Amino acid sequence: MNKNLIPILFLTLITIVVWVAFQVFKITTSSTIPEPTQNQIQELDPNLDTSVFEDLESALK
């Protein structure tokens, strides 16, 4: 193998490894969910408001 080719191959390998690492970092840190959708999927309160049921019951009577 030509001795002039080894540094070029080494630098190419380093460039590819750094490029892949930056792309993986970019993918893992950026969100793919649009802002309106993020607002719509907020966590719901698991506790029921019993006053609503009481108001419904009194309205039906």
pLDDT in tens, 2-41: 788 999 999 999 999 999 999 999 998 887 888 888 888 8
**Which is higher by pLDDT, 61 or 47?**
47
Contacts of 38 (CB under 8 A, 6+ apart): 31
Say how far apart CA 41 and CA 37 lie, in whole Å: 6
Q: Amino acid identity, residue 7? A: P
Name the domain count of the chain: 1
pTM for the full model?
Answer: 0.51
Contacts of 33 (CB under 8 A, 6+ apart): 41
Say how far apart CA 53 and CA 42 lie, in whole Å: 24
- Which pLDDT does position 35 carry in this prediction? 82
10's tokens: 């080494």
* Residue range(s) defining the domain that contains residue 39: 4-60
Model confidence at 1, in pLDDT bands (50, 70, 90)? low
